[in-house]
Structure 1
Amino acid sequence: MKATVHVMLKQAVLDPQGEAVKTALGALGFEGVEAVRQGKVIELDLAETDAEAARAAVTAMCEKLLANTVIESFRVEVA
């Protein structure tokens, strides 16, 4: 089973990398980009065959290691 985790900074947290990307896009001539938020995607191959058990395990992984839940939010997709 595969799981994908999307991790993003919470909206209230400043995103200096996103601002740098926005500035660089403007410098390259890409106009109209009003905001950029940068995050990360983590793909996991799991031995688990039950989707709910896999989701629970990946959620625990996020809470313990994959995301800093103080400043980041995460979304888990299991397929």
Structure 2
Amino acid sequence: MPTIVVDVMPKAELLDPQGKAVTGALSRLGVEAFSSVRIGKRFELTVDGEVNDEVLAAARKVADEILSNAVIEDVVGVEVVE
């Protein structure tokens, strides 16, 4: 069965407290290669049947209206994985 993956991230201009905490933890562990971390959400929508343009459009609508909060988050990806 095909799966549609939706990735949601906090808007770039907003603070990401979880990402900041992870950045600090990495620094305390001696990992200095990364200057910042942003944490988002991943949703996997399993599709019964074939993914066509209509199903993909429905997934984008669900991503925009239900899976993300448009005030503080951006949908950064909607893709089909087999």
Instruction: Give the percent of matched residue pairs that are identical in Structure 1 and Structure 2.
Output: 41
Secondary structure, counterpart of 1:34 in structure 2: coil
Q: Conserved in 2, the CA contact under 8 Å of 1:6 and 1:41?
A: yes
| Structure 1: stretches of 5+ with no match in the other structure | none
| Structure 2: stretches of 5+ with no match in the other structure | none
> Under a length normalisation based on structure 2, what TM-score does the superposition of the two structures give?
0.86
Aligned length in residues: 79
Deviation of 1:14 after TM superposition, in Å, equals 0.8
2:33 maps to which residue?
Answer: 32
> How well do the aligned residues superpose, as a CA RMSD in angstroms?
1.3
Deviation of 1:76 after TM superposition, in Å, equals 0.4
Moved over 3 A (4+): none
1:60 maps to which residue?
Answer: 61
What are the superposed Cα offsets for residues 10-68 of structure 1, whole Å, 9 maximum, x if unpaired?
Answer: 11111011000000011111013111110111111012524311211111111221011
Whole-Å Cα distance in 2 between the matches of residues 36 and 5 of structure 1? 19
Secondary structure, counterpart of 1:77 in structure 2: strand
